[in-house]
Structure formats: C-alpha cells, structure tokens
A and B are shown apart, each in its own frame.
Chain A
Amino acid sequence: MTAIQLTPQDTVERALDLAATEGADGCVVLVAETSSANLRWANNTLTTNGAMRGSDVTVIATVGAGEGTAAGVVSRSSVTDATLREIVASAVAAARASGPAEDARPLVDGLVGADWAEEPDETSVTVYADFAPALGETLQRATKENRWLYGFADHEVVTLYVGSSAGLRLRHTLPRGHVSETGKTADKSQSAWVGAATRDFTDIDPLGLDAELTRRLGWASRTVSVEAGRHPTILPPAAVADLMTYLYWTLDGRDAHEGRSVFSKPGGGTRVGEVLSTRPVGLRSDPHVTGLETFPFAVARSSGGSASVFDNGLPLSGTDWIRAGKLEHLMTSRFTAELSGATAVTPAIDNYVVSVEGATGSVDDLVSGLDNGLLLTCLWYIRTVDPQTLLLTGLTRDGVYLVENGEVVGAVNNFRFNESPVDLLGRFTAAGATVPSFSREWGDYFSRTATPPLLVPDFNMSTVSQAS
C-alpha cells in the first residue's frame, strides 16, 4: 500500500477520530505547512541559497489521570495516512504515562474560522524576482567601488491549522521576511549594517539599503578612539529592539510570582502595578497591529511558565504590558493567571510595540540635539548576566559613531556593554517616534517589533572591543 500525504484538514479530522478511538478524553491537533526561500551572500558573491518545504503535525492528547487530566504531546514531520495512527497512539500513550498536569483546563472550544477549508499558502524563489537582480547590481557596484557586501534575505510562509475535539477549527497564514546586510571598507577595517523586516519583499529596495551602507561607511572615513565608560548614547530603533526583546521574553508571570525574576516584588508577589519609569513609555502587543500581524490565538506545543498546551486556540487581543511607565501585565496561561492571582489571562503574543507618548522625530533628530556622545547601530551577543536586575551584557557592532555638536563626525571603536533594559526605561532622557524595527540579534525569528530611538545619558560601555 502506498502512503498518502493528507491535506491539513484531513490530518486534523482523522487524528481527532483516531484519538477518540484510542480512548482519549480530548485532543488538539496542530498542522503547520511551511515553505521558505533564502539567498545568502558574502565577499560580493552569492554563497548559499535554499528553497525548503516543511510539514509538521503535533498531536496533544488528554486523558483522565487520578483526579486530574494528563497530556501527551507528539510531533512529527512527513506525516502520511499510514503513520498518523502511530502518532496519535503515541500521544495517547504518553498522556497515560504522565501524571495529572497542573495546567490542565478545559480545551478551548467553539471557534470555527471562515477560511478553514482553504489550502496552505506558499512562497518560493519568485518572491525575489525584483530583489535578486537589484541585489546583483549592488554586488557588482560594490566590487567596482572596492567595498565588500555580506548579507542574507529570507522569506517564509507558515499556514497553521488548529483543530480540537472541542470543536475548534482555526487556520491562519503568517508570512515573514527580512533582509540584513553588512558592508565593509576595502581593507575591512570599518563596517556598517542595515536591516529591515518585511512581509513580502515588495517594500525592500536593495539599492536604497546599499546607499545607506555607503553613507555609513562614509562616516567611517574618520576614526576616533573613545575610552570605555558611561557615555550619552543614542540607540536607534534596531538597538532598542535588541534590548527590549529580552525584556519582553522576561515577562513570565510564574517566574515573577515565584520570586525569581526582575519583575518579582521583595516580600512576595509581582511588581504588576509598580511604576518602572517616570517617562510615559508603553510596551504593547496586539496580533492585529498593521504591518506586524501575527497569530490571533494562542499556540503552544509545550507547557511552560507562561504557556499551556491546554490553551491552544485561546483568542489573543491587544495587551498593555507596560502603560505610562507602569507594569500592567505579565505573561500568563489560564493556569498561571489563577496561580499568581492575575486579574486577566494574558498569553504571550508574537509581536510588540514600544512607544513614548508624545515622542516625535527620527534618529537624525536625536543626533541633531546631542552635543557630545555616541550613536550606535546595533548590538550583538546579548546574554543575561544577572536575572535579579536583568543585567545584560553584549557588544556594539558594525558601526558606532561619534556625535559632536549635533553631527556625526566619525566612527569610533566597539564596546562591550553591561546594561539592564528595565533600568534603561527609567533613565532615557529623549525619544523619537516609534517605527517598525529589526533587531540585529533576534530579528531572524522575532521580527515583528516597532520601537522608538532613545537617548540614554549614561549608557554603560564596560570595556573596549577591538572587533571591527
């Protein structure tokens, strides 16, 4: 007998039937159909490329366990009609081998999407039909002008189907793309970087990116040595995203409730309700925000401090994590919300917007208002040093510039920094307008961010880095 590749909808329906046959009390099935295409270049030439197609099926079976409910989770790629029975049986067996789950709650029910019956959307190399020739032109131009270009372009489309024994039938397509590019001078002693997120590459202009790289490399025609220390520093939106993404990932409600987070309150409880910044700064997620659209329902293939496999399909809505400087919510599943006494269930959402009320203007406007300080491009290799303060360490990279009397006057050496993004929210003295941003370090897989540029009067550059 030949194995048959099932449609996503058939996979869901058959898996739910099989789970019932196996004796499961409940079942959630997630089918993710993924396609992607990428181009990578270095030293002014293409180096690698790829076009990938993937299919992933996750079965979450639930069974009674003592006075509670247990869950078994099994994921497989390359699922056929012949292998689906084994997957479902494994999930049910895994549930039976587990004790009652703390986070067990009734499965989310009732929602049937109007587009449930539609086929998966796809991407392919054709997404680069306009981009690739323009990229080729910039590579040739860089060779003629004695510059070096290194970069990566990626486009991915995920179509996710979620069905459950409680009646849930949801489908959502999520496109995501980005380009990032590093330019170096002929002797490779100076470098600059640009990057942008996109949904379809129609808004990406390789010639414009190359022009910005050329402008920044031009700033490096003069180089200045600057010592480590606390410097007035302008963080452009990309660098703010580098730091705030870490803060966002730390908003775990259970960790805070248990006293092991920067958002824990001495004496017990969390810092929800506490003013983190006297500035009118906000951190908000909304799955429907224009340009940063993401899954409008919870998706969890495993349970953790702020997520639960029982919450799959839970509708997501706009959530203020920080509003007017005050911590409003931490990330919770239904279980952790109850455990921690949170006033609402606020699961993680795959985007965020940082904004400062009333702030306008661009990076260039902040530069024009700075007498003496640094403008950095992006941050790199950021890791937690001390979770108590959320102290992070990392490096500046590919373009740190000296600002004097409102103008960029040259490039300076790189630095290692030690800073906490929670502290920075309370210390910045000026901000610009919030714009779509692309974190250098995390943008490859967390690209739906919008952030303002910030001026920090005393950014802690711990030591000098020789890297260039």
Chain B
Amino acid sequence: MPEVDASFLALPRRELAEAALRRARDLGAEFAEFRLERIRSESISLRDGVLESARDDEDLGLAVRVIHDGTWGFAAGVALTTDEAIRVAEQAVNLAQVSRPINSERIELADEPVYDAVTWVSAYDVDPQSVPRADKVALLTDYSHRLLSAAGVDHVTASVATVHECKYYANSKGTSYTQQRVRIGPEIQAVAVDAETGRFDSMASCAPPAGRGWEYLTGTGWDWDEELAAIPGWLAEKMAAPSVEPGRYDLVVDPTNLWLTIHESIGHATELDRALGYEANYAGTSFATLDKLGTLQYGSPVMHVTGDRVADHGLSTVGYDDEGVAGQQWDLVKDGVLVGYQVDRRMAKVNEDVLGTPRSNGCAYADSAGHIPIQRMANVSLQPAENGPSTEELISRVRNGIYIVGDKSWSIDMQRYNFQFTGQRFYKITDGKLDGQLRDVAYQATTTEFWGSMEAVGGPQTYVLGGALNCGKAQPAQSGAVTHGCPSALFRGVNILNTTQEAGR
C-alpha cells in the first residue's frame, strides 16, 4: 500500500493552514478553506524512436477560498510562508468584498461530516517518480522500434505523461485531510504515408490513461505486447480499406470508443452547474435541465449510468473532494431515465428539495492550487448487463453494420444534443460477422436518439475503463482527468458520414 510522499509531509501544511484560516476568520469570513497542493508531472515524447522532449514539472502553491458576507473570494500564491498564507487570506477576503455589490445570491453550503486529519492514497504499485528517466526512455524506445520495424509503418510517436498529486486541505469547520493520487497517460501512434499519392493515415494504441503507476506501461492493466504486435497490420488494412458509403447503420461500439461518447453526451450533460447556466458563456449548458429530473427518457431501458468517486484506478477517484466531501457512488441514469446529477456543496444546498438529498456528492475540484474549485466530473460509467453478451455475440445480431474501435475525433454542441465522433478502426459487419475495415467513417447523432437506439449492452467481460487526462472546463480554463467505464453496446440505425465527402472531395 503506497504512502504519502515524505517530502510533502515535511512541508509546513498545518501551520500555513492555521495562519490562513485564522486570518480569514478574524476578517469576518463565515467559511474558509485552505489547500496546499504539489503536482509533480513528467512528460516524455519520442519521435521515430528518438527522444524528442522530456520535461519534469512541479506546481506547488497554496490557495484560500472564503465566504464573506455571502460572497465567494478566492486567492492563491506560491511562497510557503505564514506571511504569504496570511496575505492570500486577506486577498481572498478583499476580493469577496470588492465582488459583493455584483453578487445577488448569498452563498450557503450543504452540510458534510467533519473528517479530522484523515489520509487517503490512490491505488497504484510503482510510483513513476521512482523509475529512472533512462528506463522510461528505454521502454518507449523499445515500443517505438517494434512498430518502426514493421512493414508499412513510416513514423511512430510515443509519449507518456505521469502525474503525482499531493494535497492538504483544511477548512474552518474542522475538516482536514492529506491525499495523494497518481495517474499515467501513454500515447503510441504509428503513421503510414503513401509517398506517391501523398495519402497518410494513423493507428494509435487504445490504451487509455489510468489511475495507475508505472506498472501500467509494463503490462499491468494493458497488454502492450499484443496491441503493439497488431498495430502495423491494422494500419496496413486501414490504408487499403474501401471508403464507407454514408447512410444509416447498426453499430457495435467498443468500450475503447464508447467512453468518449459517454463523456461528452452524459458526463457533461449531467453536471448540474451546466444545467443551471453557470457554464453558459464557455463550455455551454445542458439539455438535461433540472425540471426533467426523474422524467427525462435519456435512453433505452437497458441504460444504467453511475457517477462515482471511488472506483479503483479511476482518474477522478478521490478520498475527498476540494470542499472536504468524501467520495461516493450514485445513479445518474437508471432504466434509461435521468435520476441524478453531479453537484458540489453550494448546488446541493440551493437545490436540496429538487435533488431529494441534502448532501453534495463530492464533485468540486480544482486542477491546481492556482485555481478555484469548480463542479467537476466524477467517474461516469455505463454499467454492463449482468450475464450479458460478449462483443462477438453483439456483432452476431447485426446484418449490415459497423464495429467501431478506439477513439479519435470528437465534438458536441453546447447543450449536448448533436455530436460527431470518429475512431481508430471501423469494421464492416455483414450477416453477423466482421468483413474487413472501412475508412473515412464518422458517426453523428443526437444524444437521446443515440442512447434510445441502444438495444443491448455487453456483459462484465466486455467492460473497460476509458478516460482522458485533459477535460477542459471553466474560465479561467482548468484541465481535469476523468475515467469512464463501459461495456460494448449495440445501437440500431445510426447516421454514418463519409468524411472525404464532407470535405467536398
């Protein structure tokens, strides 16, 4: 069981917190919270088997957020001294005072039990910080050369990003915790170029980022040997594949693709801050407005989507969020009906009667000490069917369709209706069997129509955790990491575009 990094524990976290919280309280803050965060990240990238870039970053700072006269105030700084902690607390209160005249809603927070000096560490085996740089480069070099040595592969890019996040949180109600999380995001892509025609295409690994340590790159949680051996053949087949005929097709969507559709059309759509308009000027709102809770037919009856902060190896798995709320699991869509939202303490308090619960489900998070906590996505996952079918069984139910594997391009409108996705590989399905790859495929649909067309979900044996390290939200922009688990699933009659024709060629 990993332990919190000793060098973080050696920082004067309690002294800084006490100084900041005391100063905020003395200045009349009704509520105050303090964060000390250290985010160590490393990114390594190779181009055609040669190290192109490697950098090692550390973001260390402190933040104070207050409620003063019913108004938020937030400030952040980098010097780890009590003088700076006091200055930041004063600045947060000052900002609340300056902002008071243009705030028309008093801020109140949902209650949460007090957690007294607790500690939580995420699930991983090998701390990426403990692995020598040369060993990391050597592994990526090996992976690159396996692809470069194959016929038809002209270029390879290989990269890995690792993050080691330590946080100390304390608030004026008495909660304090120390938390450590580790995550890793590999990307390996092969490119083929037809020198004569100038045509090129790519095939990337489907390995998602994960809440794991360096063991993920050496085979725990992903079979690299199998995938790297297969990529050149997949790429060659894609280069020679026929262009898709646009039209309506039945789709079997692999979890390596479906996670992203879930992220965009369910994950963001069930964020209550969006539904209430708080993201209207940036990321947008949501069609799944609060008045539809309990009645909106989001999808077919086989659709069961949960939000959680507790799944092992989830990228948004935490012990406690940035408002001191403990991790939980809950339903968002049950039997195809919208039944829940992702909320923070303020939204939980204001909408307590409609939500039917007086408690936040722990969805407040900031991407660093330099940013304010915002309502952030939990692990939002489509649940498999107990004793459900395999991917092959789902494919066998399709007469004329497409099996989609891996993610690539993605886009959705600002209320989460209209989306368009591509993928890594598209296999034609003829009479229940795979019939070779297609190219130039994109699927385009409206959220509720798409999920309403879901006829079946696969069993637990098809379930895969997908995810992203870089979900963007809020102003100033913040980057979040989030996991989405899902099984394979069968959809009927989805609109398929030919991307070459869309380009007018």
Do A and B truly interact?
Answer: yes
Query: Chain A residues in contact with chain B, CB under 8 A?
Result: 3, 5, 36, 38-55, 72-78, 90, 94, 97-99, 101-103, 125, 132-133, 135-136, 139, 143, 148, 150-152, 154, 180-182, 184, 188, 191, 193, 258-260, 264-268, 301-305, 309, 380-389, 391, 393-395, 397-398, 414, 416, 418, 420, 423, 444-445, 460, 462-468
A55 to B78, CA, bound (A): 7
Give bound CA distance, A90 to B475, whole Å.
Answer: 34
Chain B residues positioned under 8 Å from A265 (CB to CB): 198
- Contact present for B413 and A416 (CB under 8 Å): yes
Contact with A along B409-441 (1 / 0, CB 8 A): 111111111101010000000000000000010
Q: Which of A38, A48, A135: most chain B CB closer than 10 A?
A: A48
A444 to B80, CA, bound (A): 29
User: Is B422 a contact of A388 with CB atoms below 8 Å?
Assistant: no
The 5 A-B pairs at the shortest CB distance, nearest first, are namely A266-B198, A467-B415, A259-B193, A418-B502, A150-B280
Cα-based distance from A402 to B338 in the complex (angstroms)? 35
Q: Please, which residue of chain B has its CB at the minimum distance from the CB of A5?
A: B79
Known: A50-B372, A259-B154, A385-B499. A76 touches B58 (CB 8 A): yes
Question: A444, B476: Cβ atoms under 8 Å?
Answer: yes
Most buried by A among B47, B103, B280: B280
**A389: B residues at CB distance < 8 A:** 500, 503, 505
Q: A40-B475, A53-B76, A414-B413 in contact; A264/B71 too (CB < 8 A)? A: no
Find chain A residues with CB under 8 A from B497 CB: 418, 462
Pair A44/B104 contact, Cβ less than 8 Å: yes
Question: CB of B61 within 8 A of chain A?
Answer: yes
Binary contact readout B166-182 vs A (1 if CB under 8 angstroms, 0 otherwise): 00000000000000000
Q: Verify A38–B61 contact, CB threshold 8 A.
A: no
A25 to B323: give the CA distance in the assembly, Å: 47
Could you tell me the dominant secondary structure of chain A's interface residues?
strand
CA distance A401 to B45 in the complex (A): 45
**Given A42-B280, A268-B195, A466-B446, are A94 and B56 neighbors across the interface (CB < 8 Å)?**
yes
Binds A, one of B91-99, B210-218, B290-298, B299-307: B91-99
| Residues in B neighbouring A193, C-beta threshold 8 A | 281
Check B281–A181 contact: CB distance below 8 A. Answer: yes
Q: Which of B56, B98, B195, B281 contacts A132 (CB 8 A)?
A: B98
Given the known inter-chain contacts A49-B95, A467-B415, A467-B418, please indicate yes or no for A182 contacting B475, CB distance below 8 A. Answer: no
Which of B130-138, B220-228, B229-237 has 4 or more CB atoms under 8 Å from chain A? B130-138
A103 CB to closest chain B CB (Å) equals 8
CA distance A102 to B105 in the complex (A): 57
Q: A182 touching B281 by the CB < 8 A rule?
A: yes
Query: Which residues of B sit under 8 angstroms from A382, Cβ to Cβ?
Result: 411
A51/B53 in contact, CB under 8 A? no
Interface size on B, residues (CB 8 A): 92
CA distance A389 to B134 in the complex (A): 38
Chain B CB within 10 A, most for which of A193, A259, A304: A259
Q: Which residues of B contact A (CB under 8 A)?
A: 43, 45, 47, 50-61, 71-80, 91, 94-96, 98-99, 101-105, 132-134, 137, 154-155, 191, 193, 195-202, 276-282, 284, 287, 370-372, 374, 409-418, 420, 422, 440, 442, 444, 446, 475-477, 495, 497, 499-500, 502-505
**Would you call A260 and B57 a contact (CB within 8 A)?**
no
In the complex, which residues of chain A have a beta carbon less than 8 angstroms from the beta carbon of B287? 466-467
Task: Say yes or no: A152-B282 contact (C-beta < 8 A), given A139-B102, A259-B195, A385-B422.
Answer: yes
Closest Cβ of chain B: how far from A51's Cβ, in Å? 5
Given known contacts A39-B99, A150-B277, A467-B414, is B133 in contact with A391 (CB within 8 Å)?
Answer: no
Question: Are A102 and B52 touching (Cβ within 8 A)?
Answer: yes
> Would B193 and A184 count as touching, CB distance under 8 A?
no
Q: Please measure, in the bound complex, the distance between the C-alpha atom of A48 and the C-alpha atom of B280, giving whole angstroms.
A: 14
In the bound complex, residues from chain B placing their C-beta under 8 Å from that of A78 are 60-61, 78-80
Question: How far is it, in angstroms, between the C-alpha of A464 and the C-alpha of B372 when the chains are bound?
Answer: 36
A-B contacts, 9 of them at CB < 8 A, read A38-B475, A46-B102, A49-B73, A49-B74, A53-B76, A303-B52, A385-B420, A395-B412, A395-B414
Contact status B74-A423, CB under 8 Å: no
On whether A50 and B191 interact (CB within 8 A), knowing A42-B281, A148-B277, A467-B417, the answer reads no
Closest residue on chain A to residue B505 by CB atoms: A389
A418 and B418 form a contact (CB under 8 A):
no
Bound form: Cα–Cα A385–B409 in Å? 6
- Which of B98, B99, B415 is A466 in contact with, Cβ under 8 Å? B415
CB of A361 to closest CB in B, whole Å: 28
A264 touches B200 (CB 8 A): yes
Whether A50 and B476, one on each chain, are in contact in the complex, defined by CB atoms closer than 8 angstroms, is yes
A45: contacting residue among B73, B91, B105, CB under 8 A: B105
Given contacts A46-B103, A381-B413, A393-B409, contact A259 B76 (CB under 8 A): no
Known contacts being A102-B50, A152-B281, is A94 close to B417, with CB within 8 Å? no
User: In the complex, A9→B397 CA distance in Å?
Assistant: 69
Q: Is the CB of A47 within 8 A of B418?
A: no
Question: Could you tell me if B444 and A463 are in contact, using CB atoms closer than 8 angstroms?
Answer: yes
Evaluate contact between B195 and A267: CB separation under 8 angstroms. yes
Question: Which of A90, A259, A304 sits near B200, CB closer than 8 Å?
Answer: A259
**Which residues from B are CB-within-8-Å of A5?**
79
Contact status A77-B60, CB under 8 Å: yes
Task: Let me know if B415 and A41 touch, CB within 8 A.
Answer: no
> In the complex, which residues of chain A have a beta carbon less than 8 angstroms from the beta carbon of B102?
39, 41, 45-46, 132, 135-136, 139
Can you name the residue of chain A whose Cβ is closest to the Cβ of B40?
A76
Chain B: which residue is nearest A33 at the CB level? B78
Chain A residues near B500: list those with CB within 8 A. 386, 389
> Is the CB–CB distance between A418 and B98 below 8 Å?
no
Cα–Cα, bound, A154→B474 (Å): 12
A423 to B505 Cα, complex, angstroms:
11
Shortest Cβ gap from A276 to chain B (Å): 15
Residue in A54, A72, A77 whose beta carbon sits within 8 Å of that of B54 in the complex: A72
Query: Are B504 and A381 in contact (CB-based, < 8 A)?
Result: no
B contact residues around A388 at 8 Å (CB)? 199-201
User: Which residues of the other chain, A, contact B55 by a CB distance below 8 angstroms?
Assistant: 73-75, 301-302
Contact in complex: A391, B502 (CB < 8 Å) = yes
